[in-house]
Amino acid sequence: MHFSAQSDIFQTLCQIMSAKQFDTAGRQSIEHFFTICREGMDTNSEKLLATLYLKALNQKIHSEHLGENIYLGKYDISQIQLFNILIEKFPFVKYSQQITNDAIVAEMKDAKEVTLIDIGIGLGTQVLNIIERCKKLEGLQKLHVIGIEPFGDALEKAGKLILAQNGQVPFDIRFTGIQDSVEKVDLTSITGLQGKIIVNASLALHHIQSDKQRQTTIAQIKALKPGAFFLIEPNVNHYEPDFFKRFVSSYHHFSNIFQVIDQIEHVSNDDKNALKLFFGREIEDIIGKEEQDRFEKHEPATQWIERLKQNQFNINSAALSGPTSAGCGVEIKYHQEGYIGFTHLTETVLAIIYAN
């Protein structure tokens, strides 16, 4: 399904989101529109997307009708199954990590000892894929993984999975877990930084709320003198303080993501809808929360590149290599501004930045 910027659904959402206040008649109109969208959302991605925006908006207008649970349990799948779809099937995640992982391993090629700092390590899946690729490196003797992650359960599991690779690979692996948000960590005080230092931040830095904190974090990374610094970030402006402008940019962003999900092969419609609801959490943050409470503050790749340059990083993204197509209508190419972009139709949804 192709979403038109002139579609009735988008135009109706624009009218709703541009309102300065909501009286009784306005709330009733929104509730009626919500009912219309709910009726076809199982098989119509644009209607499902609209319901997610209206559910997010309900944090501001507090309608009991919109407060009804749209999920109804019918899209429930296990977190493991959802995670597997993201990693193995979803083009943006699958190929951005593949390109980044290949570049990280290439950076390790001539090093005997490497410290890999992974910001937002999660369950450690990306690091485990990097370790698997490192088996072919003849010279690597020691790998120290430093995982920074605010969620303790995920960090603990990541550490166990990574350390379990000892004996399976021809080099020694150490793991240090730091349970905190990266902006609260003094990176320059971390001990045990031996050998070549590589920093990886995959879909993590946009959770830092303020520009000052982002600048400080990048400055601290620069102070570590890393051999390479990799960022994967959504290429969209959700840092925008103007509510309506933020809605419009987010709608174009997520409508393209939903269209890509619709094209994934060998995944059931219910699983595709479950994946779309995963992004509904981001929509809720972008649209439903007050400015001081938002964490999904994505920025265009050019803004991250500007910060990197201000901190004396060289941008080396042109050196990244990988496929030119990720399937599902997603094209991958280098942009002269300094990043690798993943584009669907005219929307560049995701960016990889390689700095040193």
Q: Which of 182-186, 198-202, 275-279, 352-356 has the lowest mean pLDDT?
A: 275-279
For residue range 274-330, what is the model confidence (pLDDT) as tens digits? 889 889 889 999 999 988 888 899 999 999 999 999 999 999 999 999 999 999 999
Strand order in the sheet with 325-327: 172-178, 142-148, 113-119, 196-202, 228-234, 347-355, 339-344, 330-335, 325-327
State the distance between the two ends of the chain, measured CA to CA, in whole angstroms: 41
pLDDT score at 117: 98
d(CA 118, CA 127): 8
pLDDT score at 81: 75
d(CA 217, CA 205): 9
Query: 281 or 253, which is more confident?
Result: 253
Report residue 343 as tokens. 């584009």
Give percent of the chain with pLDDT exceeding 90.
79
Q: Which of 76-90, 152-166, 202-216 has the lowest mean pLDDT?
A: 76-90
Query: 294 or 251, which is more confident?
Result: 251
**Whole-prediction pTM:** 0.93
Q: For residue 69, what pLDDT band results from cuts at 50, 70 and 90? A: low
Query: 169 or 1, which is more confident?
Result: 169
d(CA 256, CA 246): 16
pLDDT score at 26: 85
Q: For residue 77, what pLDDT band results from cuts at 50, 70 and 90? A: low
Query: Please, what is the average pLDDT of the chain?
Result: 92
Helix axes 211-223, 301-310, angle to 10 degrees: 50
* Highest CATH level, class, for 83-235+298-355: alpha beta
Q: For residue 86, what pLDDT band results from cuts at 50, 70 and 90? A: confident
* Mean pLDDT across 243-251: 96
Report residue 190 as tokens. 């971390």
pLDDT score at 72: 45
Report residue 89 as tokens. 């099937």
pLDDT of residue 4 exceeding 80: no
Q: Which of 65-79, 108-122, 234-248 has the lowest mean pLDDT?
A: 65-79
Each domain of the chain, given as residue ranges in start order, spans 8-70+243-293, 83-235+298-355
Three-state SS annotation for the chain: CCCCCCCHHHHHHHHHHCCCCCCHHHHHHHHHHHHHHHHHCCCCHHHHHHHHHHHHHHHHHCCCCCCCCCCCCCCCCCHHHHHHHHHHCCHHHHHHHHHHHHHHHHHHCCCCEEEEEEECCCCCHHHHHHHHHHCCCCCCCEEEEEEECCCHHHHHHHHHHHHCCECCECCEEEEEEECCCHHHCCHHHCCCCCCEEEEEEECCHHHCCCHHHHHHHHHHHHHCCCCEEEEEEEECCCCCCCHHHHHHHHHHHHHHHHHHHHCCCCCCHHHHHHHHHHHHHHHHHHHHCCHHHCCCCCECHHHHHHHHHHCCCCECHHHCCCCCEEECCEEEEEECCCEEEEEECCEEEEEEEEEC
d(CA 228, CA 115): 11
For residue range 102-145, what is the model confidence (pLDDT) as tens digits? 999 999 999 999 999 999 999 999 999 999 999 999 999 999 99
pLDDT score at 32: 92
Give percent of the chain with pLDDT exceeding 70.
94
